[in-house]
Chain A
Amino acid sequence: EAGVTQFPSHSVIEKGQTVTLRCDPISGHDNLYWYRRVMGKEIKFLLHFVKESKQDESGMPNNRFLAERTGGTYSTLKVQPAELEDSGVYFCASSQDETGDITDTQYFGPGTRLTVL
């Protein structure tokens, strides 16, 4: 079974440009999460989709970040325009459970390393 995949693995862009990150969750997983780790700091939650709906987007830093999950399959996270402080590793995770079992394991992708120059 394929795990969570993310594309690209690395992205280097200039300040002011736009970048779109993609996450493909494990097939059949309804829950999809985005997290971010800024250099040397903790991994922080950004948002959570249940199927195509945003369940919780309380961690999104500002309106330069736009996440979508059309059709409830893969998700994209767009940063427009990118700023220097957006540099970091963006992780995606997915989990299966529909019943709200809070111990449902989140499976993480390898992350996308974003560098904004």
Chain B
Amino acid sequence: GEDVEQSLFLSVREGDSSVINCTYTDSSSTYLYWYKQEPGAGLQLLTYIFSNMDMKQDQRLTVLLNKKDKHLSLRIADTQTGDSAIYFCAESMGANNLFFGTGTRLTVIP
């Protein structure tokens, strides 16, 4: 079955870059996603990447995909206190179901 793993916690100083990592086991994954959950709110889709891409950049966000190692990362440049949240990696194989990781709690220190 699908297995998506993330480290549970990450702390960075305001203005530094954050890198959140994710590994997955299913090589047939077609789409990989990053969701953000702020306190008391639902999951917000930040970005997604097709499995045939290596990189996707969107303003302060950079997604890197190493399909050989089944490794996905999310880099947030110039991290701000408003970026403090839980970040979930998720993957799908073309069906509608999303398979999520445990989430990484990012704490930004002023």
Contact = CB atoms under 8 A, between A and B. Distances in A.
Nearest to B90: A43
Contacts of A93: 42-43
A61 interface: no
A48 B97 contact: yes
A104 to B, nearest CB: 8
Interface string B14-46: 000000000000000011000100001111110
Interface string B57-88: 00000000000000000000000000000001
Nearest to B3: A42
A45 B41 CA distance: 19
Contact of A91 (B42, B48, B92, B101): B42
Contacts, number: 64
Interface centre among A35, A42, A91 (most CB of B within 10 A): A42
A109 B42 contact: yes
Contact of B97 (A37, A40, A59): A59
Contact of B40 (A4, A103, A110): A110
A112 B8 CA distance: 22
A103 B102 contact: no
Given A4-B42, A110-B40, A110-B41, A43 B31 contact: no
B108 interface: no
B30 A102 contact: yes
Nearest to B96: A48
A92 B29 CA distance: 23
A106 interface: yes
B27 to A, nearest CB: 17
A108 interface: yes
B10 to A, nearest CB: 16
Interface of B: 4, 8, 30-31, 35, 40-45, 48, 88, 90, 92, 94-103
15 contacts: A4-B42, A33-B97, A35-B100, A37-B100, A37-B103, A42-B99, A43-B88, A48-B96, A56-B96, A56-B97, A93-B43, A102-B92, A107-B42, A108-B44, A109-B42
Please list the 6 inter-chain residue pairs (A to B) with the smallest Cβ-Cβ separation, ordered nearest first. Answer: A108-B42, A43-B100, A108-B43, A45-B97, A110-B42, A42-B102
